[in-house]
Structure 1
Amino acid sequence: MAHTAVSASAPAAVAPISLSALAPWAAFAAVLALVLLYFVGIEQGATAVFQGETVHEWLHDGRHLLGFPCH
C-alpha cells in the first residue's frame, strides 16, 4: 500500500474587517430585524399598516412559535 506525504502549510491569514466597513451591514441587519419584529409581533389592530387580516394570517403560526399572543 502506497503512502503519500501531505505537506503541512500555514493556514491562510484572514484580514480583519474594519468597523467602518461593517457599520452599514450592521445597520441594515438592525433595520431588517425591527421590520420583521414589527410584522410578526405587532402588525394587527390599531397599529396596522395594512388594512384587513392578510398579514396576520400569513404570519399567524410564526407569532405562536415566537410566543406572541394574537387572539
Structure 2
Amino acid sequence: MDPISTQQPIPVRDLLPALLLMTFLLLAVYLVQFDNGAISQSGSFLHELMHDGRHLLGVPCH
C-alpha cells in the first residue's frame, strides 16, 4: 500500500491549542506593529509598552 493514502486527517480538537496560540500571537503582532495607539489609548503604560515593542522589533514608528 502507498503510505500517503493511509494517512488520516488531523482532528480539529487536536489542532485547537495551536490555533488559539496562533490567534493570540497574530493579535499581539497587530497590537505591537500596526496599532499606533488605536487600541492602546486607554493608558500611557500600555501605549509606551507597545511603542517600546515596536523599537525592539525594529518597526519604524516615528
Residue 56 (structure 1) aligns with: 47
TM-score, normalized by length of structure 1?
0.55
Question: CA, structure 1 residues 36+43, in 2 after alignment: closer, same or farther (shift >3 Å)?
Answer: same
TM-score, normalized by length of structure 2?
0.62
Query: Given that residues 43 and 56 in structure 1 are in contact (C-alpha distance below 8 angstroms), is that contact kept between their aligned partners in structure 2?
Result: no
Q: What amino acid maps onto 1:49 in structure 2?
A: I
1:59, CA displacement in angstroms? 1.5
CA RMSD of aligned residues (A): 2.3
How many correspondences in the alignment? 52
Counterpart among 21, 24, 40 of residue 29 in structure 1: 21
**1:26-65 CA-partner distances (Å, limit 9, x unpaired):** 10011001110011101116xx235477443222111111
Residue 39 (structure 1) aligns with: 31
Q: Whose radius of gyration is greater, 1 or 2?
A: 1
Query: Given that residues 41 and 68 in structure 1 are in contact (C-alpha distance below 8 angstroms), is that contact kept between their aligned partners in structure 2?
Result: yes
Q: Which has the higher helix share?
A: 2
> Larger RCO: Structure 1 or Structure 2 (Cα < 8 Å, ≥ 6 residues apart)?
2
Could you tell me which runs of 5 or more consecutive residues in structure 2 were left unpaired when the two chains were aligned.
Answer: 1-9
